[in-house]
Amino acid sequence: MRFIALSLALTFLIGCAAGQITGGRQRPGLLPAEQTLWQLQLGEGEQGFTALLGLSFHDELLDMVLLDSSGFKLFAGSVDRNGTLKIKSVLPLVERRGLPEYLAEACQAIFLIWPEQLPCEGGWFNDLCLEEQQGSLAKSSRRLLLSVWDVVYYRGKDNPVVTRIVMRWFWFKPTLTLELSEP
């Protein structure tokens, strides 16, 4: 009984911790262009979902278009730095699966929020960090010392811009992998 009460209290504290850090603007030079096309994979192995994700930055907004392998539009929308999702069009099955919300949350974390102070910003309740690793950058979010997600940005060989991104969630969400499509 005490374990259940402690678990509920911890869940309440995490949920009531300071809001998501919005951090600074997009890091210059990290992405190859204002408009990019990525090969997206949700999950790992044969059970994963694959598609194409077109992204376009406009001021504080990130426009997203999700296409299947034949180029059919599954979802179109935009997300801002605060995580507000605006859906322009979506197929009913895609909406029922919660894919627009998942992509909005993931794209906000990957492309729109950055710590203003390096290596970490925030405090004990809500922490956003960005650290240089061997040939890559790692960004992570923690709440109450518990990891929420981490993102690793891999640079191309002899190329300073990111060509591959892997986002791992620590709370029952699938891994997201993005690979930059060749122009």
Q: What is the CATH number of the domain that holds 114?
A: 2.50.20
State phi, psi for 98 to the nearest 5 degrees: 80, 15
pTM greater than the 0.85 cutoff? no
Tell me which residue has tokens 């591959």: 164
Q: How far apart are CA 54 and CA 126, in angstroms?
A: 30
- Looking at the structure of the chain, the number of domains it has is 1
Domain that holds residue 21: 2-180
Asked whether the beta carbons of 74 and 67 are under 8 A apart, the reply is yes
Tell me which residue has tokens 């004990």: 124
Give me the average pLDDT of each 10-residue run along the chain (183 residues).
39 38 52 85 81 90 94 96 95 95 95 87 82 87 88 84 91 90 74
